[in-house]
């Protein structure tokens, strides 16, 4: 089961209430019910934040009721699936802190049984081979207000259907030449019951079964039968499957399966300022809008991991938004709050200067160096780090202004600030480039009696961070922001599938190549998260960061700054 012990789905919601009622009913009838759920991703892309909610719910419910949760890949569409996607999904679930019951399962594990069940439907007169072209099948289905039309092939004999279906399996027909359809009701109010397709012909190499099969079952047929074969008690799905539930039940009612699971639908997670459609995410990758599926701007679990989101923060976020019956859009700020809240408790503190400008302390002895003591975390007993202090340091260019606005508490000509954990300095002079007029150096004097003490007779309100010029480590810093400028980038894009690309945020990534950080992080390991003091939370890049090439990704700022942008 899960390694998670403190963020499980403990809140009361309608799915939990259903399970509690089922268990109570079982006890009244003298039955011992073991809750069995499953998480059934299709390996046609990387998992995203919406899947994280489903993972937390399925594994959380099983854990809470001392049951089991299966990981089962819905691998019925080999043309769009790959082993890379399978491996990424397995790693994401493990990283989130969950374990599944027994071995990883695949829908393809049941292909032989599914085929035999299909034969049983044909023999019972509940399925037939249809030879209509795909477009005609869609047309014959009718509309929400008009009943469908019966296929001219609906009344084929059992013997003819068995022979055709076996010939389909043997590869004697071309793709789309025939399909196997359920025989239900072409006048049903629910279009899903109007003789849905159960099998189609596909000549594609399958990542698990190779070339054994050239007929593949449809999801609606595979899903319910796989659930039944695994003894699933509660099949938790998102709301788009609500209209498919009658078909789920119909198929199981026709077959001799071990059990009849209960399908329950819940609202999927929709997050603003991003997209959670696998098709659109794949488009972003394929067209080079982002670098990869795990680009830190992506809402994929691997992308959020690379950006520096912790597994605990994602679990806490999923728990906080709850489980509902109606779809809604969750504000990105809620996710970022969960990330900040978790990192504030665990991230070590360091100083990093993103846009450096040199500050020379003219009255500090040349060649002298002293070590200043700074806590690794202000609230936890994680020890101290030593920061070398000397005559020349780097500060943020933004922390100096020649013509400061009112209430400016940083450095300016004639003004004083405290260098964090160090001395109070006063700006005495400014050195500029003769050609551009840009400030290249700031000359200050320091008050030697202000280390760990307030200056005598005056108040110094400003505190700025710094790093020593001679011992600071060069690093690359990637400043990530929201991928889209609009809260709902896919709104009204039905007629133009590329319209969401017109709403991309051109500032979603800025790369700073000349930043400097404390020598304390010299041996940093990838995925280590820090709070860069006064700047935000940053993570050592999972793939690119190493001791001789420090690369940090901005995970999230110290506070929400997007409201200003939106305003």
Q: Is 331 helix (H, G, I), strand (E, B) or coil?
A: coil
Report residue 80 CA to chain centroid gap.
20
Q: From the candidates 42, 242, 392, 441, which is the catalytic residue?
A: 42
Task: Select which of 38, 278, 315, 418 is catalytic.
Answer: 278
Question: What's the token pair of residue 512?
Answer: 């700073």
Q: Can 268 be counted among the known catalytic residues?
A: yes
Q: Is residue 278 annotated as part of the catalytic site, yes or no?
A: yes
Tokens of 340: 């900040």
The Cα 547–Cα 540 span in angstroms is: 10
Of 99, 154, 202, 268, which is the active-site residue?
A: 268
C-alpha–C-alpha distance, residues 485 and 25, integer Å = 50
> Which residue from 566, 394, 380 is spatially nearest to 488, judged by alpha carbons?
566
Which of 444, 498, 448, 476 minimizes the C-alpha distance to 549? Answer: 476
* DSSP-assigned letter for residue 198: E
Note the residue count of the chain: 567
Cα distances from 155 to residues 43, 90, 100, 127, 165, in angstroms, run 37, 45, 45, 10, 15
Q: Is 260 exposed, middle or buried (0-12, 13-18, 19+ CB in 10 A)?
A: middle
Reduce the secondary structure of 512-549 to three states and give it as a string: EEEEEECHHHCCCCCCCEEEECCCEEEEECCCCCECCE
Four-CA torsion 506, 349, 299, 72, nearest 10 degrees: 160
Q: What is the enclosing helix (H) or strand (E) of 439?
A: strand 439-447
Active site residues: 42, 268, 278
């Amino acid at each position: 089961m899960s390694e998670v012990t403190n963020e499980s789905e403990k809140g009361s919601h309608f799915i939990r209430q259903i399970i509690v009622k089922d268990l109570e009913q079982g006890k009244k009838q003298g039955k011992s019910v073991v809750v069995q759920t499953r998480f059934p991703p299709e390996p046609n892309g990387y998992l995203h934040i919406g899947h994280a909610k489903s993972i937390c719910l399925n594994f959380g419910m099983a854990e809470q009721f001392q049951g089991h949760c299966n990981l089962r890949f819905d691998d019925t569409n080999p043309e769009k699936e790959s082993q890379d996607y399978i491996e990424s999904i397995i790693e994401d679930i493990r990283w989130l802190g969950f374990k599944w019951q027994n071995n990883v399962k695949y829908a393809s594990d049941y292909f032989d049984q599914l085929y035999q069940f299909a034969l049983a439907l044909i023999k019972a007169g509940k399925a037939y081979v249809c030879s209509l072209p795909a477009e005609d099948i869609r047309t014959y289905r009718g509309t929400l207000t008009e009943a469908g039309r019966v296929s001219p092939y609906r009344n084929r004999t059992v013997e003819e259907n068995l022979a055709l279906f076996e010939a389909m399996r043997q590869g004697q027909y071309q793709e789309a030449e025939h399909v196997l359809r359920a025989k239900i009701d072409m006048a049903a109010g629910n279009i899903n019951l109007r003789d849905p397709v159960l099998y189609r012909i596909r000549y594609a190499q399958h990542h698990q079964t190779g070339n054994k099969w050239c007929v593949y079952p449809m999801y609606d047929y595979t899903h319910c039968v796989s659930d039944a074969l695994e003894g699933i008690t509660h099949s938790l799905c998102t709301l788009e499957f609500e209209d498919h539930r009658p078909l789920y039940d119909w198929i199981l009612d026709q077959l001799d399966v071990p059990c009849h699971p209960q399908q329950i639908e819940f609202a999927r997670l929709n997050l603003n300022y991003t997209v959670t459609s696998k098709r659109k995410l794949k488009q972003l990758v394929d067209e080079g809008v982002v670098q990869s599926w795990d680009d830190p701007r992506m809402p994929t679990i691997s992308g959020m991991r690379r950006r520096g989101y912790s597994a605990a923060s994602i679990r806490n976020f999923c728990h906080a938004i709850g489980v509902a019956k109606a779809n809604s859009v969750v504000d990105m700020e809620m996710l970022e709050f969960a990330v900040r809240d978790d990192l504030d408790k665990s991230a070590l503190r360091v100083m990093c200067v993103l846009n450096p400008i040199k500050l020379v302390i003219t009255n500090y002895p040349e060649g002298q160096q002293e070590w200043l003591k700074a806590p690794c975390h202000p609230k936890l007993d994680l020890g101290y780090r030593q920061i070398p202090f000397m005559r020349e340091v780097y500060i943020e260019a933004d922390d100096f202004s020649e013509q400061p606005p009112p209430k400016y508490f940083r450095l300016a000509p004639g003004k004083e600030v405290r260098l964090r954990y160090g001395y109070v300095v006063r700006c005495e002079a400014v050195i500029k480039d003769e050609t551009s007029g840009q400030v290249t150096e700031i000359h200050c004097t320091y008050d030697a009696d202000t280390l760990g003490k307030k200056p005598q007779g005056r108040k110094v309100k400003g505190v700025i961070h710094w790093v020593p010029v001679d011992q600071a480590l060069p690093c690359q810093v990637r400043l990530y922001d929201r991928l889209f400028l609009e809260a709902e980038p896919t709104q009204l894009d039905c007629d133009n599938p590329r319209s969401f690309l017109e709403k991309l945020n051109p500032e979603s990534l800025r790369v700073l190549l000349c930043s400097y950080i404390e020598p304390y992080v010299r041996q940093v390991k990838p995925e280590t998260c820090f709070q860069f003091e006064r700047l935000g939370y940053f993570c050592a890049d999972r793939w690119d960061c190493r001791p001789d090439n420090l690369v940090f990704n901005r995970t999230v700022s110290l506070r929400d700054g997007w409201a200003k942008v939106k305003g």
